[in-house]
């Protein structure tokens, strides 16, 4: 009979927040399936294993009972549901994300937002593009998509950070929960106010299509869906944009390539989310006994799969720790696998690869990241640069 996974009590959350990739590299080479007491989960780090866990929906459930997500979101969200229950709530939002809506409606709105936010950046100055472009641009695009235009960029950014800090609070500290609890009151008020408008206007936004559906899901789950979108819909494009810019601006050959042919912006986006996955890990509950890499995962155990580690797996990518625009194979699991594949993936690609990055390089063709060492990276559940000081020229 297979033995259970070994225990590694040397791994702690602060180290994972500072630099998870160093830890993942060690684990992939020695113990790719390991119990981590600090996380209360069995961590898997190789691409084949993370894919197996996410794709095997009959063996693993998204309903991890120990996750802080339900506490943070004040709801049992679709992110922790399976089967028909998950599909119904996901499909409630789907009309807002259709390819036709993306092409005929959202592309124009996002282009206008990008023009406004890029044009207000000063030339011949060093600007923190995290705070002055990436975060507010993501917030304004999302407020339009959700139908929450009255929310300010600052409010959207605060709500998003409060939600993801709460959802990623695996140490169950008090402060992140206190912050997110306070944010819920403001979110609920804004959603209710905007909802009354959408019952009359009935537009293409996420809130509008859910409220005006022929067979709407319960209002409590409409709230939960909107909050899931707020939680993921800002930090993912925000962090992806900063990561891509860091990767491009630290290599002159990369800069030359995107200037010569805009097709490289799509490649730059894929390599960025492979290199540093904005959402780094996900948890699944074992519904039956199962073996991974020869180790027994008993029924009831919670497995945490690291798509961040999968993106650096030596069996898939040589020199995976390096951002390489010209990498032929940019395979990644950063947007998930199976039923929980990120619904906003195509929106993120459009807003960054098709719209913002080309526009930014057109306006500032000679921008520079003069001191890459000044950029601070952080995060375990969610990861990206906390700043990006770029000289705009």
- pLDDT score for 338: 86
- Give CA–CA dist 369/393, Å, rounded: 11
Report which of 55, 52, 65 is spatially closest to residue 291, judged by C-alpha positions: 52
pLDDT at 170: 80
pLDDT of residue 168: 83
Span 70-76, mean pLDDT? 94
The bridge status of strand 302-306 relative to strand 41-44 is parallel
- Report residue 60: phi and psi, to 5°: -120, 130
pLDDT of 10-61, one tens digit each?
Answer: 999 999 999 999 999 999 999 999 999 999 999 999 999 999 999 999 999 9
pTM over 0.75: yes
Cα–Cα separations (whole angstroms), residue 344 to 51, 90, 180, 341: 20, 11, 23, 9
Nearest-CA neighbor of 129 among 287, 258, 12, 242? 242
Cβ contact 291:2 at 8 Å: yes
Going from N- to C-terminal start, the domains of the chain cover 13-392
Taking the C-alpha atoms of residue 233 and residue 175, their distance in angstroms, rounded to an integer, is 23
pLDDT of 1 strictly over 80: no
Q: Is 290 a residue whose pLDDT tops 90?
A: yes
Would you identify the CATH topology of the domain 13-392?
Cytochrome p450 (1.10.630)
Q: What pLDDT, on the 0 to 100 scale, is given for residue 65? A: 82
Alpha-carbon span 291 to 298, nearest angstrom:
8
Instruction: For residues 223 and 212, give the distance between their C-alpha atoms in angstroms, rounded to a whole number.
Output: 14
pLDDT for the residue numbered 2: 87
Q: Is residue 108 within a helix (H) or strand (E), and if so which, with residue range? A: helix 107-119
Mean of the pLDDT values across residues 341-350? 91
> Which strand (E) or helix (H) includes residue 377?
strand 377-378
Cα angle value 132/137/140 (rounded, 5°): 125
């Amino acid at each position: 009979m297979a033995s259970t996974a070994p225990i590694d009590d040397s791994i702690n959350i602060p180290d994972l927040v500072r630099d998870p990739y160093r830890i993942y590299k060690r684990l992939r080479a020695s113990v790719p399936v390991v119990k981590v007491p600090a996380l209360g989960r069995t961590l898997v780090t190789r691409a084949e294993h993370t894919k197996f866990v996410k794709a095997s929906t009959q063996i693993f459930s998204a309903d991890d009972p120990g996750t802080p997500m339900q506490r943070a979101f004040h709801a049992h969200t679709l992110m922790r549901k399976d089967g028909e229950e998950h599909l119904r709530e996901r499909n409630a939002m789907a009309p807002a994300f259709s390819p036709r809506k993306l092409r005929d409606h959202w592309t124009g709105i996002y282009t206008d937002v990008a023009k406004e936010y890029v044009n207000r950046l000063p030339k011949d100055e060093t600007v923190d593009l995290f705070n002055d472009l990436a975060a507010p641009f993501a917030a304004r695009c999302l407020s339009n998509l959700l139908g929450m235009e009255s929310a300010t960029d600052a409010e959207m950014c605060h709500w998003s950070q409060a939600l993801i800090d709460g959802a990623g609070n695996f140490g169950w500290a008090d402060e992140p929960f206190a912050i997110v609890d306070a944010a819920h009151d403001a979110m609920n008020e804004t959603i209710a106010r905007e909802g009354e408008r959408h019952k009359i206007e009935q537009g293409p936004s996420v809130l509008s299509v859910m409220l005006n559906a022929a067979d709407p899901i319960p209002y409590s789950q409409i709230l939960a869906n909107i909050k899931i979108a707020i939680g993921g819909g800002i930090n993912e494009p925000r962090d992806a944009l900063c990561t891509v810019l860091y990767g491009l601006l630290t290599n002159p050959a990369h800069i030359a390539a995107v200037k010569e042919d805009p097709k490289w912006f799509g490649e730059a986006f894929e390599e960025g989310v492979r290199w540093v996955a904005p959402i780094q890990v996900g948890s699944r509950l074992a519904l039956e006994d199962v073996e991974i890499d020869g180790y027994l995962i008993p029924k009831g155990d919670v497995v945490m799969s690291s798509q961040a580690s999968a993106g650096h797996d030596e069996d898939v990518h040589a020199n995976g720790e390096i951002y390489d625009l010209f990498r032929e194979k940019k395979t990644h699991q950063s947007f998930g696998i199976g039923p929980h594949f990120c619904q906003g993936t195509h929106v993120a690609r459009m807003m960054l690869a098709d719209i913002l990055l080309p526009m930014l390089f057109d306006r500032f063709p000679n921008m520079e990241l003069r001191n890459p060492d000044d950029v601070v990276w952080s995060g375990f559940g969610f990861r990206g640069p906390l700043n990006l000081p770029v000289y705009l020229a």
